């Protein structure tokens, strides 16, 4: 009796602690996710799975619970395709995720295997007929209400693996090449009069990591969060209602620099991700297919460079070199042995651009990591705010402001254009939505307005309304500013300075096999069988082979 009593006591304590965590999860998580988690745990308890299977299913639910608590949604496909860059989110987020994962797993296992203490339905009711009814309810819930954690997990992994093994025939590739190949970048007859003529100028582009336009002072309620970017914007040409066309960084940079849709992310199960395959394989993929912005600039006398916070041996830098940048710079080039903070990176950019190391005319792309999801500023803080988003954005602004001061008093100001944009918008985590008062319905996707700001000494400030056009237009817009139009390409976008565009892709977005539209400057999901989605899927034959 004593042993039995001790066992019951242990089970009782375990269930009590698990229930406490369940209450915490219900309080912190969206009600829909909470109900789905509790429903699935109850469903598993009715079936009384064996211990090993129960642990396996509980681990899946634990992983989903950790994801919901950390980023506000179930594990997204993007997380899997960027798993090689887990360190970018910061050690605190990794530890928090691990704690929630183990707590969630124990919660699910303890509750689902000890639910008889609560107590359960009478055993006589849990017969085969009852189980059939539960299965039908479970299937109906996942089909018509909301996906439960385990089903969503399987769906996400299915899409992830499916994207990795997509194969297209040479005929499909040829058809797409014929359809989109052209010998010009923009239509000179429809280029608006206000298009600046910046031919032969140097170009410096800041592709800020995960940066939404709503993080700039003008578009939020904070004071002096981005004073330097705000002042820079007021004396520049800027585009409002301009969206990212994909996510995350590998697709974002590669897609903007080739004006195309990308199916593959950085990392995939069979190691064929764009951040994993070697230089020869990428050159083979691009031969007679996609043409990049640096490739075109190289052919027109430019020297093309890209500087990142990462190592030169990092997959991102390897990808950029295989997009035919003349040279990439990593932290080793600045006598560092670790990823550069935003302050360190911008100091390095000042040193690089003012040292005369770059041959002119040049194009220099810059990618930071300090504003990545989960990072906090190690340097400048936003007052006393204990908010990672406010701190990292304010720190970025400070670093950018110091760069602008050096730029303004250097000879660069006379022949160099500065462009500020982003690789993609910020991930819509619960804290981000709360911080910048984003709408849960319209701002729930990893797509949103991003900045596109162009400055050159003497330029006439002007605001253009992109009205929902997206970053497919980035490469042709840069080339129209430089008046480079003699270039074979497969660009899907048009210059934002063209008042007519024969292609409407720049109103459609793709993240893997999820499709959206930004027409009328509002993001809405598209069905996979829609006309636009079918066109994008066919284009993958060109961009992924």
pLDDT for residue 536 is more than 50: yes
Q: Give the model confidence (pLDDT) of 371-391 as tens digits.
A: 998 899 999 999 887 899 999
Q: Give the model confidence (pLDDT) of 61-71 as tens digits.
A: 999 998 888 87
Average pLDDT, the chain: 87
Confidence (pLDDT) at 314? 86
pLDDT for residue 6 is more than 70: no
- Distance in angstroms (rounded) separating the CA atoms of residues 329 and 340: 12
Written as one string, the DSSP assignment of 182-209 is: EEESS-GGGB-TT----TT-EEEEEEET
Residue with tokens 């651009």: 353
For the segment 424-453, the average pLDDT, to the nearest whole number, is 91
Report how far Cα 344 is from the mean position of its chain's Cα atoms.
23
pLDDT for residue 91 is more than 80: no
Q: What share of the chain has pLDDT > 70, as a percent? A: 88
Of residues 43 and 448, more confidently modeled? 448
Contacts with 268 (C-beta within 8 Å, 6 or more apart), sequence order: 81, 160, 163, 164, 276
Q: How confident is the model at residue 92 (pLDDT cuts 50, 70, 90)?
A: confident
Phi-psi region of 147 (alpha: psi -120 to 50; beta: other; left: phi over 0): beta
Q: For the whole model, what pTM was predicted?
A: 0.84
Confidence (pLDDT) at 142? 81
Angle of CA points 36, 40, 41, to nearest 5°: 120
Q: How confident is the model at residue 284 (pLDDT cuts 50, 70, 90)?
A: low
Of residues 107 and 159, more confidently modeled? 107
Q: Kindly calculate the radius of gyration of the chain based on its CA atoms and give it in whole angstroms.
A: 26
> Of 279-293, 322-336, 338-352, 520-534, which gets the smallest average pLDDT?
279-293
Q: How confident is the model at residue 285 (pLDDT cuts 50, 70, 90)?
A: low
- Distance in angstroms (rounded) separating the CA atoms of residues 124 and 127: 6
Contacts with 370 (C-beta within 8 Å, 6 or more apart), sequence order: 209, 309, 341, 342, 345, 377, 392, 395, 396
- Distance in angstroms (rounded) separating the CA atoms of residues 441 and 456: 38
Of residues 145 and 352, more confidently modeled? 352
For the segment 129-152, the average pLDDT, to the nearest whole number, is 82
Q: Which two structure tokens, joined as six digits, stand for 230? A: 């705000």
> Of 82-91, 416-425, 512-521, which gets the smallest average pLDDT?
82-91
Confidence (pLDDT) at 3? 42
Of residues 315 and 125, more confidently modeled? 315
Phi first, then psi, for residue 488 (nearest 5°) are -70, 135
- Distance in angstroms (rounded) separating the CA atoms of residues 294 and 200: 14
Strands 202-208, 416-422: pairing is: parallel
Confidence (pLDDT) at 191? 93
pLDDT for residue 50 is more than 90: no
For the segment 458-467, the average pLDDT, to the nearest whole number, is 95
Confidence (pLDDT) at 516? 96
331's enclosing H/E stretch is none
Q: What share of the chain has pLDDT > 90, as a percent? A: 53
pLDDT for residue 118 is more than 60: no
pLDDT for residue 12 is more than 80: no
Confidence (pLDDT) at 127? 65
For the segment 165-173, the average pLDDT, to the nearest whole number, is 77
Confidence (pLDDT) at 28? 85
Of residues 495 and 355, more confidently modeled? 495
pLDDT for residue 224 is more than 60: yes
pLDDT for residue 305 is more than 60: yes
Closest CA to 294 of 205, 211, 210: 205
């Amino acid at each position: 009796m004593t042993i039995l009593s001790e066992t019951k006591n242990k089970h009782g304590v375990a269930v009590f602690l698990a229930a406490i965590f369940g209450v915490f999860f219900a309080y912190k998580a969206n009600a829909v996710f909470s109900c789905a988690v509790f429903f699935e745990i109850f469903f598993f308890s009715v079936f009384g799975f064996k211990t090993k299977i129960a642990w396996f299913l509980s681990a899946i639910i634990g992983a989903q619970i950790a994801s919901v608590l950390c980023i506000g949604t179930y594990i997204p496909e993007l997380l899997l395709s960027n798993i090689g860059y887990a360190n970018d989110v910061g050690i605190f987020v990794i530890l928090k995720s691990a704690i929630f994962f183990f707590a969630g797993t124990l919660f699910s296992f303890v509750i689902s295997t000890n639910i008889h203490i609560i107590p359960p339905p009478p055993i006589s009711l849990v017969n085969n007929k009852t189980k059939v009814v539960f299965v039908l309810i479970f299937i109906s819930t996942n089909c018509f209400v909301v996906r439960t954690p385990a089903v969503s997990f399987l769906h996400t992994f299915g899409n992830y693996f499916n994207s990795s093994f997509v194969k297209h025939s040479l005929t499909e590739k040829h058809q797409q090449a014929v359809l989109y190949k052209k010998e010009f970048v923009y239509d000179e007859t429809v280029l608006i009069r206000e298009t600046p003529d910046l031919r032969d100028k140097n170009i410096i582009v800041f592709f800020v990591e995960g940066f939404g336009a709503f993080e700039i002072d003008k578009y939020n309620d904070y004071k002096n969060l981005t004073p330097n970017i705000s002042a820079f914007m007021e004396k520049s040409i800027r585009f409002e209602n301009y969206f990212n066309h994909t996510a995350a960084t590998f697709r974002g940079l590669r897609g903007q620099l080739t004006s195309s849709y990308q199916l593959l992310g950085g990392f995939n199960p069979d190691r064929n991700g764009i951040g994993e395959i070697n230089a020869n394989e990428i050159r083979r993929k691009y031969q007679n297919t996609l043409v990049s912005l640096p490739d075109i600039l190289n052919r027109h006398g430019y020297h093309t460079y890209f500087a990142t916070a990462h190592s030169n041996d990092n997959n991102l830098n390897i990808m950029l070199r295989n997009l035919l940048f003349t040279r990439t710079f990593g932290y080793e080039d600045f006598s560092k042995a670790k990823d550069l903070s935003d302050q360190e990176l911008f100091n390095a950019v000042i040193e690089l651009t003012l040292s005369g190391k770059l041959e002119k005319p040049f194009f220099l792309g810059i990618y930071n990591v300090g504003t990545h999801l989960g990072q906090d500023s190690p340097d400048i803080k936003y007052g006393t705010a204990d908010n990672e988003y406010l701190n990292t954005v304010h720190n970025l602004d400070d670093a950018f402001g110091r760069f602008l001061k050096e730029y303004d008093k250097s000879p660069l100001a006379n022949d160099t254009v500065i462009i500020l944009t982003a690789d993609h918008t910020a991930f819509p985590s619960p804290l981000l939505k709360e911080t910048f008062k984003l709408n849960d319905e319209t701002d729930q996707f990893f797509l949103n307005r991003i900045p596109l700001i162009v400055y050159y000494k003497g330029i006439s400030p002007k605001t253009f309304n992109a009205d929902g056009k997206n970053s497919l237009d980035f490469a042709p817009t840069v080339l129209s500013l430089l008046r480079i139009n003699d270039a074979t390409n497969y660009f899907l976008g048009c210059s934002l300075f063209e008042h007519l565009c024969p292609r409407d892709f720049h109103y459609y977005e793709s993240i893997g096999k999820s499709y959206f539209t930004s027409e009328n400057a509002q993001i809405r999901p598209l069905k996979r069988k829609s006309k636009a989605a079918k066109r994008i899927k066919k284009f993958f034959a060109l961009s992924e082979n």
